[in-house]
């Protein structure tokens, strides 16, 4: 991405776009949800549209290439610089190789930013030398493995094999389009034309154009909501029908519960987080759909009803969401997988107790880790002999054929759809009886 001004004297000390990119990158790597908070934050909103776009592109490109960037820096740094200097260097490398910024502007602008801050001023010469040296070395060859943290890549290779792991990791560098779910499937074609979007198998819409979604056709009338193509599959597989009563036990911010309500079912949406449920209520108002929203912990929710269908979109590592949240790759720790797996198995037991005889349970996680997916499904079937897998067929609900496992579950990998989709695991179970 080339900006006006980069052609002339690139080094402007007063450089709000790059300063904002530095803030976004720092926040994204400092804390969970830091990226989303920084992208929504006031300083970014105060920039011109051009500066905002550049700041975002620079920070996101740096996060998407962080694995490669840190390898390049490791080879050129003799000792670890202060954290803020490392952040500046990372932005500089991203500019050099992936943002179409002229090399001199890529270096000068970051050196100027280092000089503008008393905390980094003493490292101007180092920043200058390292970036110039890397610029002379030239762009590194594409290596998908280098995009992922080594421990995660090793897990993916063990779970899916070398070539699938490489294909998964290659998606990390790609910028995703925006996927939307139409409220009414019959409206999908008209919306696709109005939005200049592609209609995907299963009925999601994919829009390449960027910009403020509030201004896109059909937003104000609630004709669609933003939802990744993979995230839209689990609720379709529950196949809720008008007249049925279904519950979504981990519902906020609500994309899947909206789908269930749009299908005509009576929906109870449970979530333990009141602020997240409030976001859901805003979407409900816009779409005119209605659900019974309950703030409660699923395991202890004091409600005696049993349901035709139960959806459990359990809290998870979210390792499958790296396309929009590349920071997740760098904030996860190996111990998170085991911690979340035990939460998931407790939630699955609670979910089982709420399924009517003959009813369905759909379990899903936006994770690539087998302990949160296949491992949970297998252990669940052992603990609950009154449940059996209700196999998913290729194409059902938009499921890519490549994602269907031998057991009839879905292991959605990010490269299973051209243009990508989030990584998910989905299993559908049926309770005996009814």
Provide the annotated active-site residues.
Answer: 366
Contact range with ligand SAM by CB under 6 A, out of 58-66, 73-81, 119-127, 271-279? 271-279
Q: Which contacts of 273-276 are long-range, i.e. CB under 8 A and separated by 24 or more positions?
A: 276/252
Question: Is residue 286 at the binding interface for ligand SAM, with CB under 6 A as the rule?
Answer: no
Per rule CB under 6 A, count of chain residues that contact ligand SAM:
18
Position 272 contacts ligand SAM (CB under 6 A): yes
Residue 260 makes contact with ligand SAM by CB under 6 A: no
Stretch that binds ligand SAM, among 77-85, 147-155, 170-178, 266-274 (CB under 6 A): 266-274
Interaction of residue 298 with ligand SAM, rule CB under 6 A: yes
Contacts of ligand SAM in 322-351 (CB under 6 A): 347
Which residue among 18, 155, 236, 256 contacts ligand SAM (CB under 6 A)?
256
Contact call for residue 273 and ligand SAM (CB under 6 A): yes
Considering only 51, 313, 369, 372, the residue that binds ligand SAM (CB under 6 A) is 313
Question: 289 or 298, CB closer to ligand SAM?
Answer: 298
Candidate list 67, 81, 144, 255; residue touching ligand SAM; CB under 6 A: 255
Residues 69-98 that bind ligand SAM (CB under 6 A): none
Instruction: Specify the stretch interacting with ligand SAM by CB under 6 A; choose among 180-188, 293-301, 399-407, 420-428.
Output: 293-301
Contact yes or no for 250/314 (Cβ under 8 A): yes
The correct pick among 251, 310, 328, 404 for binding ligand SAM (CB under 6 A) is 251
Task: Output the CA–CA distances (angstroms, integers) from residue 106 to 3, 10, 195, 258, 347, in the order listed.
Answer: 11, 8, 35, 45, 49
CB of 277 to ligand SAM, least distance (A): 8
The answer to the question of residue 254 lying near ligand SAM (CB under 6 A) is: yes
Which residue minimizes CB distance to ligand SAM?
250
In whole angstroms, the minimum distance from the beta carbon of 164 to ligand SAM comes to 24
| Choice between 148 and 267, CB closer to ligand SAM | 267
Cβ 263 to ligand SAM, closest distance in Å?
Answer: 14
Q: Which stretch binds ligand SAM (CB under 6 A): 119-127, 154-162, 186-194, 270-278?
A: 270-278
Q: Which of 276, 356, 378, 430 binds ligand SAM (CB under 6 A)?
A: 276
User: Is residue 271 close enough to count as binding ligand SAM by CB under 6 A?
Assistant: yes
DSSP collapsed to 3 states, the chain:
CCCCCCCCCCCCCCCHHHHHHHHHHHHHHHCCCHHHHHHHCHHHHCCCHHHHHHHHHHHHHHHHCHHHHHHHHHHHCCCCCCHHHHHHHHHHHHHHHHCCCCHHHHHHHHHHHHHCCCCCHHHHHHHHHHHHHHHHHCCCCCCHHHHCCHHHHHHHHHHHCHHHHHHHHHHHHCCCCEEEEECCHHHHHHHHHHHCCEECCCCCEEECCCCCHHHCCCCCCCCEEECCCCCCHHHHHHCCCCCCEEEECCCCCCHHHHHHHHCCCEEEEEECCHHHHHHHHHHHHHHCCCCEEEECCCCCCCCCCCEEEEEEECCCCCHHHCCCCCHHHHHCCHHHHHHHHHHHHHHHHHHHCCEEEEEEEEEEECCCCHHHCHHHHHHHHHHCCCEEECCCCCCHHHCCHHHECCCCCEEECCCCCCCCCCCEEEEEEEECCC
**Residue 315 binding ligand SAM, by CB under 6 A:** yes
343/379 with CB nearer ligand SAM:
343
Question: Which among 203-211, 248-256, 282-290, 417-425 is the span making contact with ligand SAM, rule CB under 6 A?
Answer: 248-256
Minimum CB separation from ligand SAM for residue 311, in Å? Answer: 7
Part in contact with ligand SAM (CB under 6 A); list of ranges 94-102, 133-141, 196-204, 244-252: 244-252
Of 233, 152, 165, 171, nearest to 424 by C-alpha is 233
β-bridge partners, 365: 425
Q: Which of residues 363-422 bind ligand SAM (CB under 6 A)?
A: none
Query: How many other CB atoms are found less than 10 A from the CB of residue 363?
Result: 25
Q: Write out the residues near ligand SAM by the rule CB under 6 A.
A: 250-256, 270-273, 276, 297-299, 313, 315, 347
């Amino acid at each position: 991405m080339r900006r006006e001004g980069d052609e002339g004297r690139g080094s402007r000390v007063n450089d709000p776009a790059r300063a904002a990119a530095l803030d976004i990158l720092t926040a994204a790597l400092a804390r969970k949800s830091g990226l989303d908070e920084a992208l929504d934050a006031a300083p970014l909103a105060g920039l011109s549209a051009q500066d905002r776009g550049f700041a975002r592109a620079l920070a996101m490109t740096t996060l998407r290439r962080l694995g490669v960037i840190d390898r390049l820096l490791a080879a050129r740094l003799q000792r670890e610089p202060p954290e803020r200097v490392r952040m500046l260097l990372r932005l500089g490398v991203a500019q050099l190789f992936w943002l179409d910024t002229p090399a001199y502007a890529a270096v000068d602008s970051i050196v100027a930013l280092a000089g503008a801050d008393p905390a980094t001023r003493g490292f101007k010469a180092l920043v200058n030398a390292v970036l110039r040296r890397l610029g002379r070395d030239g762009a590194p060859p594409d290596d998908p493995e280098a995009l992922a943290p080594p421990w995660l890549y090793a897990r993916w290779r063990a779970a899916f094999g070398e070539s699938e792991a490489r294909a998964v990791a290659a998606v990390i560098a790609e910028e995703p389009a925006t996927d939307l779910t139409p409220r009414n499937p019959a409206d999908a074609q008209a919306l696709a034309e109005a939005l200049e979007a592609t209609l995907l198998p299963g009925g999601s819409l994919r829009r390449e154009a960027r910009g403020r979604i509030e201004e896109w056709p059909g937003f104000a009338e609630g004709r669609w909501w933003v939802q990744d193509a993979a995230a839209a599959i689990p609720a379709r597989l529950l196949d809720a029908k008008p007249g049925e009563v279904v519950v979504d036990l981990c519902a906020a911010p609500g994309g899947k519960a909206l789908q269930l309500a749009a299908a005509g079912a009576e929906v109870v949406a449970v979530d333990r987080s009141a602020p997240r449920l409030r976001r859901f209520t805003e979407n409900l108002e816009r779409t005119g759909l209605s659900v019974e929203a309950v703030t409660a912990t699923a395991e202890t929710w004091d409600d005696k009803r049993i349901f035709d269908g139960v959806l459990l979109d359990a809290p998870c590592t979210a390792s499958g969401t790296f396309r929009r949240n590349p920071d997740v790759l760098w904030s996860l720790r190996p111990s998170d997988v085991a911690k979340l797996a035990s939460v998931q198995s407790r939630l699955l037991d609670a979910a089982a107790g709420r399924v009517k005889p003959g009813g369905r349970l759909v379990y899903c996680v936006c994770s690539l880790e087998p302990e949160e997916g296949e491992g949970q499904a297998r252990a669940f079937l052992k603990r609950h002999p009154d449940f059996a897998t209700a196999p998913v067929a290729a194409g059902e609900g938009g499921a890519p054929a490549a994602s269907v496992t031998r057991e009839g579950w879905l292991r959605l990998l990010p490269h299973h759809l051209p243009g990508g989709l989030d990584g998910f695991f989905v299993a559908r179970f049926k309770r005996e009886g009814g």
